[in-house]
Amino acid sequence: YVQHKRDEGVLEGADKELVAEAERLEVRNMAPLILSELLLDENIRDQLKKYKRHFLRFCHRNLKAQKYLLGGFECVVRVHRDQLLPKVAHVLKDMYDSDLLEEEAILGWHDKVSKKYVSKELAKDIRTKAAPFVNWLKEAEEESEDGEDDEDDDDKDVEVVYDEKTTHLKVETIKKPVQAEEEADVDIDAI
């Protein structure tokens, strides 16, 4: 179905139709694997931008689909090994920045070498090339956790109040009027 749409030149606007067809065939989670093999080649970075919407329809908040996308990515690297192996970290970062892959999916994939899609040797090579990006992800996660802890400790006694109506700040010193002793006695009945 995807190949047919691609050959007709109508694939770019058919992302909703692809999802409907994948659901009809009950292969929604596997669709990124199929899309990877049919739509991606050595120009993967440009193609990911072009077909981002198609991949997002399947991968957004779906870890299984993201794992299949990573498997499809491994298959594309196998076919175009010389061109893509040096670019693995960049491609993964593109996928991460485009919200096609979540941190959890990438870290899980990196930690478990599998020979499901490619040879174990190539899978190790791909993960070795991905290591700089994965390390960056881990460091960013640790820093955000540390930052959250520090902020919690510092902000215990601080309360921030927001007012949407205020357009500018104005500082005034208000002087209390000097009251005569006679005015100090307030007649409650007169109020």
For residues 54-70, average pLDDT:
96
Residue 185 maps to a domain:
no
Residue 11 maps to a domain:
yes
Residue 124 maps to a domain:
yes
**pTM (2 decimals)?**
0.73
Residue 76 maps to a domain:
yes
- Quick check: 112 pLDDT over 60? yes
Residue 139 maps to a domain:
yes
Residue 59 maps to a domain:
yes
**Residues whose CB falls within 8 Å of the CB of residue 65, separated by 6 or more in sequence, listed in order:** 28, 29, 30, 31, 32, 58, 59
Distance CA(57)–CA(100), nearest Å, equals 9
Q: Count structural domains, the chain.
A: 1
Residue 181 maps to a domain:
no
- Environment class of residue 75 by beta-carbon count within 10 Å: exposed (0-12), middle (13-18) or buried (19+)? middle
Cα dihedral sign, 137-76-42-23: negative
Residue 20 maps to a domain:
yes
What tens digit of pLDDT does each residue of 72-110 get?
999 999 999 999 999 999 999 999 999 999 999 999 999
For residues 108-136, average pLDDT:
96
Q: Element (H or E) spanning 33, and its range?
A: helix 31-39
Range of the domain at 95: 2-143
- CATH number of the domain that 48 lies in? 1.25.40.180
For residues 10-39, average pLDDT:
91
